[in-house]
Structure 1
Amino acid sequence: MLARQRQAVILEEARRTGAVRVSDLVGRLGVSDMTVRRDLDVLASRGLVEKVYGGATSVVGKSTDEPGFEAKSVRQRVQKEAIAAVAAGLVRPGTAIGLSAGTTTWALARALDAVPGLTIVTNSIQVADVLRGSNQPDRTVVLTGGVRTPSDALVGPVAVNSLRTLHLDLVFLGVHGMADGPGFTTPNLTESETNRALVEAGRRLVVLADHTKWGTVGISTIADFEEAHVVVTDDGLPTHAREALSEHIGELMIATVPGDGE
């Protein structure tokens, strides 16, 4: 098991039970005490667990917690770039697509630079900034209006009304969390409404979510698992999460993250 896969298992167990012990994890994962402690150090450095004597406790944020764009942009950057590369392969020249706000869709915007003839609709200031610098002269970028959130999304009635007039081939949705039951969620009620309008504007929905999003639940559901035609995630997602997603969605695509060891 790779380090990111172990860490995903540890994080899931910490969130499920509230705390994990090093001794239990050594037996469950079949690795050394030192390896488990290194994994806990990594998770603690990301603010996902809090180390305590003999193990770690879960750090569970409120369902309305919403980190800013800059804070989120440094988390799981390699995983997000790998996900974006896979997602870019789903985009065909000359199509109309939608990109929600988020740091993974921001990575996708950069990965789309080589695709010609696109019409791209987004409610993200950060995504629009990337697209504005494209080398494609035949590209059309539509930025919805709206009220700005901490994640630099434009939301509210203006954005919703704009999106309800559009018909897109493909919509890429970044999410705050995904869990069996609540589905794909966000901590921002107004952003949820805007994202639902974006989802409804597309013929196909592709959700982009790195493995740390599993088990996280925001206050509002954007879409149920069954609404996603494709979910693109990274290979740190644990087996039970892959099985849960595969039962409901059309296709699960796993991006391989290079250069991960113990």
Structure 2
Amino acid sequence: METPLIVYNLGDRGRKHRGKERNFNLRKLAAAINSDETQERVKNRDMPGFYGHLFRARFGLNPPETVIVGGNVVRLDPAFVTTHLRALPDGTIEHKAEFLNTDAGQLAQKAYASKFGGFSSAIDQIKPEFCGFDYVFEPNFNNNRGYSVALDSVSVAERDAVFDSIIVAEYKDQMTGCLRLLDSVSKAHELALQSVDHLRQENEELMSMLAVGRDEAALDSVPILPLSVSRAPAQRIISDIASFRNARLPRFVEPKGDESGQMERAYDRLLNRFGIGG
């Protein structure tokens, strides 16, 4: 969704009792907005806007795509891009914005459709450089709604006073989250120790049952856990020896003699051949 052309003048905030008066150098600011560099950014859709000013306040007027916060990578999703931007010498600013299909973009688009909030400029007065617009609840220039609290000329002291409270609140939230995380890790560690102790007891019981049921010998040494060694192979060897000793081995049966004596002579030859004879 793209907004219609939004027009407002830097000399008319449209407010009397809230916000802050701005004293821009209109000539320099108009030159910065109409410069080839700024217009190229607008043409290439390289001028993102965010939902609120917090990202720019914490990470610079031109924040990166991602930042590291508390050791975690955090995406700085934009809410819209500026698709048209022009400045006139009298301080009139024209611009259009296209809302993006991001979470922040959907929030900004819903607020815009509900006629709540408006656009607020982010300007570096020192260069000067026009960095873009953000969508805020209460824009300093009331006519810049499309139907700035502007970072452009907020002093360092004002910026610290405003955003320190936000940072402190975030710090408290982070500390609360860290304490909850540590408590959760401590409980998990305690449960793990209990599980290890329970498994150790079960293992000892199973080892004892195996030692009794399988006739095993335990080798107990201080540096290591009790080690069980089966005696079954040795018992099998002893049993085989005993069986062999008691086994009935094949033997020659002395034949009954006959009148010729041939059987006796053949029997004697077999005994002599195998070394059995006397």
Q: Which TM-score applies when normalising by structure 1?
A: 0.20
User: Whose radius of gyration is greater, 1 or 2?
Assistant: 2
Give the structure with the higher percent strand. Answer: 1
Q: Which TM-score applies when normalising by structure 2?
A: 0.19
